[in-house]
Structure 1
């Protein structure tokens, strides 16, 4: 029976075999989770795999520029902007944060052990061809504009994510 299922799936014209591709959706805005996502992404890139990273909701904070510039927003969008960390350097740990002390300790230990910082990991991924896609629905809900994101970030919706995920050998939700 398993052979029948396998053969019928492989003959389907809409089913494509996975390629050497990894798709990661980063939903979390926590430093440790973003670090994990970029360690995996950079590892996959080092193995000559294609990498697409899709950023939704709090994960969008990784892609925010450190400075805001002048962007016209309504009150709720401004409030979201004030409450969310502005970029990879401002993110905090999900556990043991202790009013920022845990985050500072983690960054100190990473530097001491010659582990790249999150901004360095983001830049490495970009330089090595990772595709960074910001979720347009999440941006709309959270009041973010494309001009507030790092240059070169693509915009896409759930269909963009699903298209990449269905063609990938590995899909991760972080």
Structure 2
């Protein structure tokens, strides 16, 4: 059985979405399986045109921090969130969407990027995915 990384993506902050996708891609590139369970504010990033729409965590500064980080990332040739997600999916990464969060926050399946999502489920889906994981992270 190959090693597996499972990441709970709880935050919708852009710096944390970047971290989750970079770690997920790194695990896949190292020959591991990888899954991300999007829940609460992280789930909002799975909406159509929503991946890069969130705030930049603590350094947002009314949008100035987000602009500064995006500018620095562009200069450093850091891949966009869309590119990171495309790479993640092409490498075989799985995306799990939390149904309980969808119900609580009124998110409909048709609002989400169906081409990214592999499975909808509740906590049991996450636990089943994580029970044999080598690495589990909460971001």
How high is the TM-score relative to the length of structure 2? 0.94
The within-5 A match list for 1:118-129 is 118-129=81-92
The equivalent residue for 1:63 is 46
Q: Which runs of 5+ in 2 are unaligned?
A: none
Contact 1:65 1:150 in 2 (8 A): yes
Q: Does 1:117 align with 2:100?
A: no
1:137-156 per-residue CA deviation (whole Å, 9 max, x = no partner) reads: 00100000111111231211
Map 1:44-55; keep pairs closer than 5 Å.
44-55=27-38
Residues matched between the structures, number = 137
1:59-110: CA deviation from partner (whole Å, max 9, x where unpaired) = 01221102xxxxxxxxxxxxxxxxxxxx112112112211111101111111
1:26-65 residue CA offsets vs partner (Å, 9 max, x unmatched): 0001011111111100000100110110000000122110
Instruction: Please provide the CA RMSD for this pair.
Output: 1.1
Matches of residues 1-174 of structure 1 in structure 2 within 5 Å? 19-66=2-49, 87-152=50-115, 153=117, 154-174=119-139
Unaligned 5+ runs, structure 1: 1-17, 67-86
> Matched residues in 2 for 1:37 and 1:126: separation?
13
Q: Is 1:107–1:117's contact at 8 Å kept on the other side of the alignment?
A: no
Structure with larger Rg: 1
Look up the SS of the partner of 2:69 in the other structure: helix
Query: Aligned partners of 2:59 and 2:138: how far apart in 1?
Result: 22
1:123 CA drift (Å): 1.5
SS, match of residue 144 in structure 1: coil
